[in-house]
Amino acid sequence: MFDQSVAVNINKEETAMDPSNSIVIETHDLSKAYKGTQAVSSLNLTVKQHSIFGFLGPNGAGKSTTIKLLLGLARPTGGSAQIFGYDTQRDSASIRKRVGYLAQDPRYYEHMTARETLRFTAHFFYSGPRAGIEKRVEETLELVGLSDKADRPIKGFSGGERQRLGIAQAQVNYPDLIILDEPAASLDPQGRHDVLEVMERLRKHTTIFYSTHILSDVQKVSDTVAILDHGKLISEAPIEELLNANSAPVFTLGLRGETEKARLHIASLPWVSAIQARPVNNHISWEVTVSDEGLAETQLLPEVLSGGEVIVLDYGRRKVDLEDIFLALTEGDQNGKH
């Protein structure tokens, strides 16, 4: 379990951003092709300071490639990217001094212990004093709940412990930006919860850019999301905006009886946009999408019952969540292609 009592301490003098510049990451038509395969295509992203930016996409969408481009681990075949105003290709070193990174499948020197790994990482950023570095290592171990395993070799670590160590090493230098590639993918529900909590706490001090395909996590902590599919940006917006823009009210009903006649009647109402009907066990389930929420709330149920030929078994309203939007956008994109 992550230690909640450990506060995050920031070296403000060294890491503070220029307050006039609230954009942390900016890409302009960023593209990457591998031997004819377009991994990332004309990507335009803007990530603001202190945001938790969820970078979503199915496997192979180009998320990890984008992250590698941002870190200077790969070279773009087109476009450019800036972090803290520095070009990711020309000034990669200046960027990496202020960034913490957790890879999708983090690998460390297996013979080292967690403490040695954090000490090794810290020495890329700090030259001393030794006591200060040791203290920082200890704090970081506590933050991710690895104090009791600090002196065991990493080769015996579980996937979750490796991930915790990954988060620890990514923020041992109080980075202005933390880039996490699928940080919760290999964790159990408790581990995921802990990771999200740490991210939430770090938000005050840093900007977090993370890729994931676990949509419920994104909805919990992110304030902005970008959806990537086949290397292309499909959508980028604050999460509330994205949910609201795609949140046409949907009412659900479970029915028995002459439902087809009732369905035709409901479909003819001007405030009903669509009805999806499907058999479920011994009854029929409807999803009714409406354009006027007020009218639907007062009139949908009476209208369904007006013919007297159906029995309503259950009635409710379904909220659109990020998964619906994600599926609609990515499937829509795929349908458009094929």
- The residues of the shown chain that bind other proteins, judged by CB under 8 A, are 6-7, 9, 11-14, 68, 71, 73-75, 93, 96-97, 99, 101, 103, 105-109, 111, 120-121, 123-129, 132-133, 135-136, 139, 174
Closest approach of other proteins to the CB of residue 123, in Å: 4
C-beta closer to other proteins: residue 123 or 261: 123
C-beta closer to other proteins: residue 36 or 129: 129
The length of the chain is 338
C-beta closer to other proteins: residue 175 or 249: 175
C-beta closer to other proteins: residue 144 or 218: 144
Which residue, among 163, 173, 150, 169, has the nearest Cα to 194 in the 3D structure? 163
C-beta closer to other proteins: residue 25 or 325: 25
C-beta closer to other proteins: residue 121 or 224: 121
Closest approach of other proteins to the CB of residue 22, in Å: 24
Which residue, among 167, 177, 171, 160, has the nearest Cα to 52 in the 3D structure? 177
DSSP three-state, residue 17:
coil
C-beta closer to other proteins: residue 128 or 336: 128
Q: How far apart are CA 267 and CA 283, in angstroms?
A: 19
| C-alpha separations of 50 from 101, 108, 192, 200, 223 in Å | 16, 28, 21, 10, 10
Per-residue b or e along 233-249, where b marks 16 or more CB atoms closer than 10 Å to that residue's CB: bbbbbebeebbeebeeb
Closest approach of other proteins to the CB of residue 180, in Å: 12
C-beta closer to other proteins: residue 123 or 318: 123
Q: How far apart are CA 55 and CA 179, in angstroms?
A: 10
Angle among Cα 18, 8, 139 to the nearest 5 degrees reads 135
DSSP three-state, residue 38:
strand
- As given in the structure block, the two tokens for residue 243 are 């949910």
Closest approach of other proteins to the CB of residue 323, in Å: 30
Closest approach of other proteins to the CB of residue 84, in Å: 14
Closest approach of other proteins to the CB of residue 109, in Å: 6
Closest approach of other proteins to the CB of residue 57, in Å: 20
Q: How far apart are CA 211 and CA 70, in angstroms?
A: 13
Q: Is 197 exposed, middle or buried (0-12, 13-18, 19+ CB in 10 A)?
A: middle
Closest approach of other proteins to the CB of residue 336, in Å: 31
Q: How far apart are CA 28 and CA 26, in angstroms?
A: 7
